Amino acid sequence: MLVRVLGRFLRPYRRDVALVVVLQLVQTLAALSLPTLNADIIDDGVVRGDTGYILRTGAVMLGITAVQVTCAILAVYVGARTAMAVGRDLRSAVFDRVQRFSLAEMGRFGAPSLITRTTNDVQQVQMVTLLTFTIMVMAPIMMVGGVFMALHQDVGLSALLLVVVPLLVTVMGLAIWRMGPLFRQMQKRLDRINLVLREQIAGVRVVRSFNRQPTERERFEGASTELFRTALGVGRLMALVFPAVMLIMNASSAAVIWFGAGRIEDGAMPVGSLVAFLNYLMQILMSVLMAVMMFMMVPRAQVSAERIGAVLATEPEIVAPAEPVRLATVGAVPAGGAGAPGDGWRGGNGFHGGDGADVSRLRAGDGALGRHDGAGGRAGRLAVELDGATFGYAGAQAPVLRDVTLRLEPGRTTAVIGSTGAGKTTLVNLVPRLIDVTAGAVRLGGVDVRDLDPHDLREHVALVPQKAYLFSGTVASTLRHGRPDATDAELWEALEVAQARDFVEALPGGLDAPVEQGGTNFSGGQRQRLAIARALVRRADIYLFDDSFSALDYATDARLRAALPRATRGAAVLVVAQRVATIRDAETIVVLDAGQVVGTGTHHELMDTNATYQEIVLSQLSAEEAA
């Protein structure tokens, strides 16, 4: 897997790789020539007392050294730049793939593991790439060239290489074999630490309010200790390897001097050749050592490459069809053709699309939020239809949603209520195709959402999730997530509808006030109102509010619901809530129980006919209030 990953991401840098190989070749050849020249100085200069020869050969050695140093610097520079570029491209590829993941893939990998794969795993592959350019390219050239030059100096003494090199490779190979499983464990331990840390940071208020600091400290210490023990195992192996390698290298030097002295005494070998042979032996052993040390890092990089490859090889379940249907071509009607008096919340004075014609969105507005074509909401509004929609998670014993049939009409508000775990959020996620039905169909404008490009589909949808998450930046940048080209006036109007204008105006800087990561510098209610304003800025055809009013007090909730129809005029609105007061005035209320629709109607109709709805209502309101 490591070879495949590097082969794919090094392909755009073929010229740089070739340049590194050439530079390392020149550097290594220069390094291999120096011991021979040094031997010549000893044998032909020092022994004979030829000072001129010593100076001339020394000058050549200085020139070769300058070439070697220059090539080494350039090789490291080009190699490091290429390795960093590969790391950048690899991170980008992982990030882009994760951005395309559906909720199913996100759940399969988990956020902590994806963070580790995008950071630490990529770093391991990047480091091996750098070492490949700086060490691995040079090591085989050095080893082969060193053996050739050692044979050139003395063939008989070169027999020592047949013992020393295999012994060194065996020691290092055993270490690598033991380190592979440990490196795999280390990456899993890092995933665990990320998981525990994310939970503790995200739930810090819960931890403190329940005085669970000691327990959470023990959890983190447990995860950290597991990583420590695994890293300690790796460290112990390395602590054994280095003394063994140094013993082999020093014993080899002693053997060369021992046997070489005898050959010099016999006149079979000059002194300079012995010095050169000793240098070549060290170069050979160092090249073997560098190569094996490189391969000691390869198992961890291999594990990381497998984890990265698993992400890159995972095809998202939610993909665009080969020939997607364009919503702009579906049933367009003239402006005002679908409008009729009324509003999304009963008793108001806005507008709703009367027959909910399946038509495409045509922006013909005058620029003010919620005012577009004047007569009937936006021309060409879209209806949403769930036809026998069923969804079940892989491996689950029962589906979360079963045979849900529902229609969201343009200009009308449909509310969904049910107990915890009834499948309300799952139903919401089906509309923008964050997940796909396992049976049945979800249609937008009469077209199955699986026949639409997900990007095109989501251009028509504004979602306020159950957990209001705000990205770091400013209030303005947060709201413009809904529509980047929105003007300041449109932002203020959305804030006013969402009942957020007062507290934003009170902030230093107003729209330019900072928003921390996740919106942690705002209260829960303020985050919800900013998330609602962000959705309203979008000017969508379908608005999905997934329990988005739960953090609001009753007075703010009432004011927001009263102001909402003019901002969502003509759009299909789906409101999921557990609080009856939030949805009792909706035109259509859908009751979910255990993933099934068990009742549909107005508040009064359901109070007369539906036991499940009665139970929910009477658990929150008195009989007089519910009437």
* The predicted structure's pLDDT at residue 347: 39
Confidence grade of residue 334 (pLDDT, cut at 50, 70, 90): very low
Residue corresponding to tokens 């350039």: 74
Over pLDDT 70: what percentage of the chain?
A: 90
When the candidates are 3.40.50.300, 3.20.20.140, 3.30.420.40, 2.40.30.30, the CATH number that belongs to 461-539 is: 3.40.50.300
pLDDT digits (tens, 9 = 90+) for 423-437: 888 899 999 888 888
Asked if 416 contacts 394 with a C-beta cutoff of 8 angstroms, the reply is no
| Paired tokens of 143 | 């080893």
Q: How far apart are CA 527 and CA 548, in angstroms?
A: 10
* The predicted structure's pLDDT at residue 247: 85
Q: Which tops the pLDDT comparison, 242 or 26?
A: 26
Q: How far apart are CA 487 and CA 493, in angstroms?
A: 10
The mean pLDDT of 167-196, rounded to a whole number, is: 80
Amino acid found at 229: R
3-state class (DSSP) for residue 376: coil
Asked if 468 contacts 503 with a C-beta cutoff of 8 angstroms, the reply is no
* The predicted structure's pLDDT at residue 459: 87
CA distances from 420 to 388, 424, 590, 601 (A): 22, 8, 15, 21
The mean pLDDT of 172-201, rounded to a whole number, is: 80
Angle at 65 between CA 62 and CA 69, to 5 degrees: 140
Q: Residues 148-175, buried b or exposed e (16+ Cβ, 10 A)? A: ebbeebbeebbebbeebbeebeebbeeb
* The predicted structure's pLDDT at residue 558: 86
Q: Residues 484-516, buried b or exposed e (16+ Cβ, 10 A)? A: eebeeebbbbbbbbbbbbebbeebeebbebebe
Least confident stretch, 79-93, 360-374, 532-546? 360-374
Confidence grade of residue 625 (pLDDT, cut at 50, 70, 90): low
* The predicted structure's pLDDT at residue 15: 92
pLDDT digits (tens, 9 = 90+) for 557-579: 888 888 888 888 888 999 998 88
Confidence grade of residue 494 (pLDDT, cut at 50, 70, 90): very high
pTM higher than the cut 0.85? no
For 2-178+229-313, CATH gives 1.20.1560.10
Q: Identify the helix (H) or strand (E) that includes residue 515.
A: strand 514-515
Nearest to 502 by CA among 562, 557, 556, 571: 556
The mean pLDDT of 390-405, rounded to a whole number, is: 84
Least confident stretch, 158-167, 302-311, 349-358? 349-358
Given a cut of 60, is residue 327 above it in pLDDT?
A: yes
* The predicted structure's pLDDT at residue 103: 79
User: What is the DSSP secondary-structure string of 556-614?
Assistant: HHHHHHHHHHHHSTTSEEEEEES-HHHHTTBSEEEEEETTEEEEEE-HHHHHHH-HHHH
Given a cut of 90, is residue 84 above it in pLDDT?
A: yes
* The predicted structure's pLDDT at residue 551: 81
Matching fold, domains 335-458+542-553+572-626 and 461-539 = yes
Torsion angle of alpha carbons 324, 327, 330, 334, nearest 10°? -160
Maximum CA pair distance of the chain?
A: 120
The mean pLDDT of 112-137, rounded to a whole number, is: 86
* The predicted structure's pLDDT at residue 536: 92
Confidence grade of residue 254 (pLDDT, cut at 50, 70, 90): confident
Q: Which phi and psi (to 5°) does residue 461 adopt?
A: -120, 140
* The predicted structure's pLDDT at residue 360: 35
* The predicted structure's pLDDT at residue 233: 85
| Paired tokens of 81 | 């730049």
CA 413 from centre of chain:
36
The mean pLDDT of 257-274, rounded to a whole number, is: 80
Q: How far apart are CA 263 and CA 155, in angstroms?
A: 12
When the candidates are 3.30.420.40, 2.60.40.10, 3.40.50.620, 3.40.50.300, the CATH number that belongs to 335-458+542-553+572-626 is: 3.40.50.300
Asked if 353 contacts 410 with a C-beta cutoff of 8 angstroms, the reply is yes
Given a cut of 50, is residue 612 above it in pLDDT?
A: yes
* The predicted structure's pLDDT at residue 626: 60
User: What does the domain layout of the chain look like in residue ranges?
Assistant: 2-178+229-313, 335-458+542-553+572-626, 461-539
Asked if 273 contacts 39 with a C-beta cutoff of 8 angstroms, the reply is yes
The mean pLDDT of 231-237, rounded to a whole number, is: 84
Nearest to 344 by CA among 86, 525, 565: 565
**How do strand 588-593 and strand 596-601 relate by DSSP bridges?**
antiparallel
Q: Residues 538-554, buried b or exposed e (16+ Cβ, 10 A)? A: bbbbbbbbbbbbbbbee
| Paired tokens of 501 | 């204008």
Amino acid found at 365: G
Mean pLDDT of the chain: 81
Given a cut of 90, is residue 49 above it in pLDDT?
A: no
Query: Could you tell me which residues come within 8 angstroms of residue 9 by beta carbon, excluding any fewer than 6 positions away?
Result: 86, 89, 90, 93
